[in-house]
């Protein structure tokens, strides 16, 4: 039997045995794509198992992430620090081999996959990052950025709409170093795909402007190798290699059927597979010769050493660029970043301009872009509305690089491509759409938070304040939904100053994505002391202080902060001592120490929150006996001012509610307020794994 078959059979054995040991998992795809994997990993993939972070390595994305055992097998066999014991502990708590590949667990995992189609979009982002960095850094004869991005996809990935969005862009962007392998096995969970997936996939991808290699025998290592060579022979167009495969190949009774997609094969079928493959070795035992054939450590170290030599020449000739390249790889901010930002915040405070926070955001981008050449912006066809483009931005053009992307009307792909840009490293990506359409991007936002990457999502037109476009465009529950996502920092600033600080904190985050939620309409600048200015970054702070013994707290965000301030004035005129807490980021506020949180929101004082969105999320700050002025229905189409009155988001209503609250509190005793709120205060930042 030729050696390549042995390697493929080793993958098959590890995969079926690990799934069997776990009692769950997906043996079909790894067994079906084993030869495709051998052709790529054995002959083409440039990587160094001893340094998974080598900047110029090829990227490999397993978009059909349910086949995780394929990737774990490859990492183990080629020499990554993933011992056999970790494969034995497949899918177990705290193993490096969770059910789907997750970034930060096993070395060599480039992105977290499982939600089908998104890995493919991440791969498009990685391939784009390579092009951007190559255009920026490569110099004559010194191509320090020169690698490919490879992705495996299944029927599921190609059925998902995001594959259309992302692959359409990859074609337009001419990402010629992106090579995708389609596991064309004709099977998905419900059975043979003829009833639900009959696209002419090669024609579809040709229509996107891709190079398509059709009808490759996915079980012939030589044929796949030849297809990869054809793909690599050009770098004008991304390539799709369509591999005909048999799901679960090697399992005599179950191969070719959906039965082996996502369940252990069972002892009898595994024994039969061992016989059929002539694989006599016990579970998790791999012959030394197979290990030797897979081992990529020596070759990988050699390739990396070549690159280091190139890099040394580059350092000598272009020391400043080399230092910049290194800084970007580290993900470090430039020197004096925080000091410059603080000066700018002070200047904006002094200017006290009235403007929409989306416009303030555009100014912030222009300000930060001067110090951060790694910023790569974009919008899903709403550039003029999101105000994501800054004066010095350069539109991306194939072959010339750039730092601004027109994603077209493709919110989901935009967010997943942004994740891919971040995962690649070297750029700092952000992209915009209306807050309403964050929903189209939603799972990619969640994946950013789960993967602990740090892009910035710019969501403008953040409430009924957008006015006449009506309820289809007026977000109500979106802010609360974003805040519910663990490790997602959501900022809803109230003026130019908070917007700048929001951008600063977003850029300072190393492992947290940020959603910036911005107004379409103009908002006045609030007055602040030096201390208040410094406290913005804590996420919540006292903006207007009580003149006597505190009777009520008004908590507000964004466009409702000024409404709260006006209500505070009305109350003050009546001799009522209230305070206004501006709470642009609950995420940051919740991470402050208890003493600070208690000083801002004392437990035993009646509290009212006002925000143009659903009320539920504010209960954790105001308690059961507190009050929330918000919107628990859909919006309406009308001029913004009229809508604010219609929905009761007015200073008069807030002041009135506060008065009632104070009256209730004195009737029932203040301590009633403490229970629910102190629980919220005790809650620490939500721990996340990894
Ligand atoms: C967005 C999303 N929807 C549904 C699923 C559940 N799911 C996992 S695999 C799969 C079928 C995928 O079919 P295919 O890609 O052809 O995989 P194969 O059975 O060939 O390995 C489904 C529906 C998922 N993981 N992600
Ligand atoms: Mg399939």
Q: Which ligand is nearest to the CA of 99?
A: 1
User: Does the CB atom of residue 70 touch ligand 1 within 6 A?
Assistant: no
**Ligand 1 pocket test, candidate residues 156, 218, 260, 262, most atoms within 8 A of CB:** 156
- Please tell me the distance between residue 247's alpha carbon and the centre of ligand 1 in angstroms: 13
In the block, which residue shows the tokens 């020197």?
335
- Which pLDDT belongs to residue 13? 98
| 394: pLDDT strictly greater than 50 | yes
Give the β-pairing of 552-556 and 239-244: unpaired
CB-CB contact of 511 with 486 (8 Å): no
Mean pLDDT score across all residues of the chain: 95
Query: Cβ(149)–Cβ(177) under 8 Å?
Result: yes
Cβ atoms of 36 and 182 within 8 Å: the answer is: no
pLDDT at 671 over 60: no
Q: Which ligand is nearest to the CA of 259?
A: 1
Tell me the per-residue pLDDT of 230-241, one tens digit each, with 9 for 90 and over.
999 999 999 999
| Residue 485: predicted pLDDT | 98
pLDDT for the residue 5: 81
User: Given the CA of residue 67, which atom of ligand 1 is nearest to it?
Assistant: 21
pLDDT at 688 over 80: no
Residue of the CA atom closest to atom 9 of ligand 1: 66
Residue 577 has pLDDT above 60, yes or no: yes
Long-range contacts of 395-400 (CB under 8 A, 24+ apart): 396/128, 396/132, 396/173, 398/131, 398/173, 398/174, 399/135, 399/174, 400/135
User: What is the three-state SS of 584-653?
Assistant: CCHHHHHCCCHHHHHHHCCCCCCEEEECCCCCHHHHHHHCCCCEEECCCCCCCCCCHHHHHHHCCCCHHH
Burial class (CB in 10 A: 0-12, 13-18, 19+), 574: exposed
Question: Any residues with CB less than 8 A from the CB of 204 and at least 6 apart, and which?
Answer: none
| Alpha carbon of 164 to ligand 1 centroid (Å) | 16
Tell which atom from ligand 1 comes closest to the C-alpha of 114: 25
Ligand 1 centroid from CA 457, angstroms: 28
Between the alpha carbon of residue 649 and those of residues 356, 449, 492, 656, the distances in Å are: 18, 32, 17, 12
Q: Is the CB of 218 under 6 A from ligand 1?
A: no
187 lines ligand 1 (CB under 6 A): yes
pLDDT (tens digit per residue) in 470-479 = 999 999 999 9
CB of 116 shorter than 6 A to ligand 1: yes
How far apart are the CA of 248 and the centre of ligand 1, in A?
Answer: 15
For residue 686, pLDDT over 60 is answered with no
Q: Give the model confidence (pLDDT) of 449-503 as tens digits.
A: 999 999 999 999 999 999 999 999 999 999 999 999 999 999 999 999 999 999 9
Which residue has 């990402």 as its token pair?
175
Task: Judge contact between 629 and 648, C-beta under 8 A.
Answer: yes
**CB of 65 closer than 6 A to ligand 1?**
no
Neighbours of ion ligand 2 (CB under 5 A): 154-155, 185, 187-188
Token pair recorded at residue 345: 């915040």
Assess whether pLDDT exceeds 90 at residue 680: no
- Average pLDDT estimate for 221-229: 98
Overall size of the chain counted in residues: 690
615, pLDDT greater than 50: yes
Q: For residue 261, give the ligand nearest its CA.
A: 1
pLDDT at 668: 80
pLDDT tier at 336 (50, 70, 90 boundaries)? very high
> Higher confidence at residue 608 or residue 679?
608
Q: Ligand 2 mean position to 536 CA, how many Å?
A: 50
Residue 340 alpha carbon to ligand 2 centre in Å: 53
Distance CA 485, CA 481 (A): 7
Q: Could you report how far apart the first and last alpha carbons of the chain are, in Å?
A: 42
Q: Which of 461, 447, 466 is nearest to 492 (CA)?
A: 461
CA–CA gap between residue 168 and residue 161 (Å, rounded): 11
pLDDT > 90: percent of the chain: 95
The token pair at 197 is 């997936």
DSSP single-letter state for residue 392: T
Q: Tell me, what's the pLDDT at 670? A: 53
pLDDT in tens, 259-297: 999 999 999 999 999 999 999 999 999 999 999 999 999
The pair phi, psi for residue 41, each rounded to 5°, is -75, -30
Q: Per-residue confidence at 684, pLDDT binned at 50, 70, 90? A: very low
Phi, psi values for residue 285, rounded to 5°: -110, 125
Q: Quick one: DSSP state of residue 438?
A: G
Is residue 261 lining ligand 1, measured as CB closer than 6 Å?
A: yes
**Contact residues for 68 (Cβ-Cβ < 8 A; gap 6+):** 25, 26, 62, 97, 98, 99, 100, 101
Of 189, 196, 243, 262, the one to substitute when testing ligand 1's pocket (max ligand atoms within 8 A of C-beta) is 189
- Name the burial class of residue 288, with classes exposed (0-12), middle (13-18) and buried (19+) by CB atoms within 10 angstroms of its CB: exposed
pTM (two decimals): 0.96
Cβ distance 59 to 114 under 8 Å? no
Mind listing the pLDDT tens digit for each residue in 93-142? 999 999 999 999 999 999 999 999 999 999 999 999 999 999 999 999 99
Per-residue pLDDT reduced to its tens digit, 17-68: 999 999 999 999 999 999 999 999 999 999 999 999 999 999 999 999 999 9
pLDDT of residue 669: 67
pLDDT at 325 over 60: yes
Q: Is the CB of 254 under 6 A from ligand 1?
A: no
What letter does residue 58 receive in the DSSP assignment? P
């Amino acid at each position: 039997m030729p050696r390549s078959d042995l390697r493929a059979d080793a993958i098959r054995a590890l995969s079926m045995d690990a799934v069997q040991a776990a009692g769950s998992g997906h043996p079909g795809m790894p067994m079906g794509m084993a030869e495709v994997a051998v052709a790529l990993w054995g002959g083409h993939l440039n990587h160094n198992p001893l340094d998974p972070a080598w900047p110029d390595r090829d990227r490999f994305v397993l978009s059909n992430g349910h086949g995780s055992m394929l990737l774990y097998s490859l990492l183990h066999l080629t020499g990554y620090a993933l011992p056999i014991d970790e494969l034995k502990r497949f899918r177990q708590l705290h193993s490096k081999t969770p059910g789907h590949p997750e970034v930060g667990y096993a070395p060599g995992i480039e992105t977290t996959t499982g939600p089908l189609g998104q890995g493919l979009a991440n791969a498009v982002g990685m391939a784009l990052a390579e092009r951007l960095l190559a255009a920026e850094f490569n110099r004559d004869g010194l191509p320090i950025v020169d690698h490919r991005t490879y992705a495996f996809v299944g029927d599921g990935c190609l059925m998902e709409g995001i594959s259309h969005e992302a692959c359409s862009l990859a074609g337009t962007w001419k990402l010629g170093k992106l090579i995708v392998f389609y596991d064309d096995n004709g099977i998905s969970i419900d059975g043979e795909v003829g009833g639900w997936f009959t696209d002419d996939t090669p024609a579809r991808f040709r229509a996107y402007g891709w190079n398509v290699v059709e009808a490759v025998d996915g079980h012939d290592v030589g044929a796949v190798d030849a297809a990869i060579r054809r793909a690599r022979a050009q770098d004008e167009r991304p390539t799709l290699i369509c591999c005909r495969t048999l799901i679960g190949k090697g399992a005599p009774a179950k191969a070719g059927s959906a039965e082996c997609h996502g369940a252990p094969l069972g002892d009898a079928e595994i024994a039969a597979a061992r016989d059929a493959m002539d694989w006599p070795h016990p579970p998790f035992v791999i012959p030394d010769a197979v290990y030797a054939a897979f081992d990529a450590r020596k070759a990988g170290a050699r390739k990396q050493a070549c690159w280091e030599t190139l890099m040394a020449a580059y350092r000598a000739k272009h020391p400043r660029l080399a230092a910049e390249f290194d800084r970007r790889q580290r993900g470090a901010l430039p020197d004096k970043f925080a000091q410059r930002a603080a000066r700018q915040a002070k200047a904006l405070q002094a200017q006290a301009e009235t403007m929409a926070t989306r416009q303030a955001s555009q100014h912030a981008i222009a300000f930060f872009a001067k110090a951060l050449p790694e910023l790569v912006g974009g919008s899903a066809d709403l550039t003029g509305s999101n105000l994501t483009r800054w004066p010095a931005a350069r539109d991306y053009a194939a072959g010339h690089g750039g730092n601004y992307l027109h994603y077209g009307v493709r919110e989901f792909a935009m967010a997943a491509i942004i994740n891919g840009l971040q995962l690649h490293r070297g750029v700092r990506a952000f992209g915009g759409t209306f807050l309403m359409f964050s929903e189209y991007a939603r799972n990619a936002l969640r994946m950013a938070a789960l993967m602990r990457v740090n892009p910035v999502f710019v969501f403008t037109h953040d409430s009924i304040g957008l006015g006449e476009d009506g309820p289809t465009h007026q977000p109500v529950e979106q802010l609360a939904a974003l805040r519910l996502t663990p490790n997602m920092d959501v900022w809803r600033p109230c003026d130019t100053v908070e917007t700048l600080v929001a951008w600063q904190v977003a850029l300072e985050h190393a492992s947290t994505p940020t959603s910036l939620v911005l107004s379409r309409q103009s908002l006045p600048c609030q007055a602040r002391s030096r201390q208040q200015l410094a406290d913005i970054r804590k996420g919540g702070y006292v903006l207007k202080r009580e003149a006597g013994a505190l009777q009520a707290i008004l908590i507000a965000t964004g466009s409702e902060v000024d409404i709260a301030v006006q209500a505070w004035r009305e109350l003050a005129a009546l001799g009522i001592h209230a305070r206004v807490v501006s709470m642009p980021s609950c995420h940051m506020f919740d991470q402050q120490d208890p003493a600070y949180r208690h000083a801002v929101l004392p437990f035993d004082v009646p509290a009212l929150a006002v925000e143009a969105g659903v009320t539920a999320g504010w209960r954790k700050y105001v308690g059961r006996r507190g009050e929330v002025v918000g919107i628990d229905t859909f919006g309406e189409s009308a001029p913004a001012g009229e809508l604010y009155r219609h929905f009761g988001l007015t200073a008069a209503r807030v002041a009135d509610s506060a008065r009632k609250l104070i009256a209730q509190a004195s009737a029932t005793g203040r301590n009633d307020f403490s229970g629910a709120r102190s629980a919220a205060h005790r809650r620490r930042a939500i721990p996340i794994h990894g």
